[in-house]
Amino acid sequence: MSAPRSRVALVSFVVATIAVLAVFPKFAEPYYVTLVLPAFAYAIALLGFNLLFGTAGLLSFGHALFVAIGAYAAAVLTSKLGVRSFEAIVAIAGIVSVIAAIPVAMLAVRYVRIFFGILTLAFGMLFHSFLFKFYNLTGGDTGIRVLRPTLLGQDWKELDKTAFLIGPFYYACLVLALVLGLAMWRIVHSPFGLHLAAIRENSRKAEYLGVRVRTFRLIAFLISAFYGAIGGAILAVNTGQADPELAYWTHSGELVFMTVLGGFANFFGPLVGAFAFIFLKSELMGATQYWRFFLGATLAVIVIAFPRGLMGLASDAWKKATRR
């Protein structure tokens, strides 16, 4: 439980970060601003992922399934169904994902630990092969185009693609991230969140205290699917394309990587992890053609030496600083 001083520090830090993000496009190079967009997308997707992992203790190796659903929902809505409102796209992508998640969740919550991981991996790959093979429906390995959505009813026609992305779209995503972040904060710190934590710590004991373990895991799974899809929709609008590789199991692996990089035991861990990963990957790709090796090495180092991730390091540093 946080002492009042930590609380003030935390709130100040969050407000400062939001302020920096808000003015970022004004002073930073467009290249870096375009990097922040996938960071927003992944931050949202990871908030959902970490409800399952950090809070409920379930490691899904198929979260990319929902990211892909969101991306393809955005693509189908804009390219094939003529729905261009970003607000509608986000909402529909989320709802479609939750509906798709219901059968997956009902099956998956019967298992724990490695079996849960393998089952979710299987579902992710099932969707991937569907996307890849059924060319007529899904565009096969090229995927489906995502057309530029309207924001608040406006189409911002006067702006070119980049200007749109680093302008109105950036702010739309920032607001979306804030709203969803706040909602997730409430969920994690609610009675429901407490029960998820209890399930993580000792599911048998939780049962004896009247906690309906499977039902709660299912609800957490559905919420994570909602968040994953919204992240996917943002990614798709950003790249202009929904492609099947979004559903591949290694993409799910990267989601786990990001979360652990930032720190899975901390609410802000996944958010920090998303940003850190995007920037790390971008810098590595620019520096060497063997960037995968160094990315993998980074993950190995974190898993072995810094399992609580960046937020773990930050919280240790804070504790040291405030002890004096």
Residue from 187, 222, 276, 280 that binds another protein (CB under 8 A)?
187
User: With binding defined as CB under 8 A, does residue 213 bind another protein?
Assistant: yes
CA dist., res. 128 & res. 132, Å (int): 6
Q: CB of 316: closest distance to another protein in angstroms?
A: 16
Q: CA angle 105-106-110, nearest 5°?
A: 95
Q: CB of 164: closest distance to another protein in angstroms?
A: 33
Kindly give, in sequence order, each residue whose CB lies less than 8 Å from that of residue 213, ignoring residues fewer than 6 positions away: 199, 203, 206, 207
CA dist., res. 290 & res. 281, Å (int): 11
- Residue 25-64 contact track with another protein, rule CB under 8 A, x = bound: ----------------------------x-----x-x---
Residues 252/121, Cβ–Cβ less than 8 Å: yes
User: With binding defined as CB under 8 A, does residue 295 bind another protein?
Assistant: yes
**Which parts of 106-145 interact with another protein (CB under 8 A)?**
107, 110-115, 117-119, 121-123, 125-126, 129-130, 133-134
User: With binding defined as CB under 8 A, does residue 206 bind another protein?
Assistant: yes
Q: CB of 41: closest distance to another protein in angstroms?
A: 21
Residue whose CB is less far from another protein, 80 or 113: 113
Helix 30-50 / helix 249-262 crossing angle, nearest 10 deg: 90
CB atoms within 10 A of CB 132: 19
Residue whose CB is less far from another protein, 82 or 191: 191
Residue whose CB is less far from another protein, 50 or 238: 50
Residues 229/69, Cβ–Cβ less than 8 Å: yes
Q: What is the DSSP string of 186-253?
A: HHHTSHHHHHHHHHHH-HHHHHHTT--HHHHHHHHHHHHHHHHHHHHHHHHHHHTEE-GGGGSHHHHH
CA dist., res. 194 & res. 307, Å (int): 23
Among the residue ranges 25-33, 93-101, 168-176, 249-257, the one whose residues contact another protein (CB under 8 A): 249-257
Task: List residues near another protein by CB under 8 A.
Answer: 1, 53, 59, 61, 107, 110-115, 117-119, 121-123, 125-126, 129-130, 133-134, 183, 186-187, 189-195, 197-198, 201-202, 204-213, 216, 219, 248-250, 253, 256-257, 260, 289-293, 295-297, 299-300, 303-304, 307
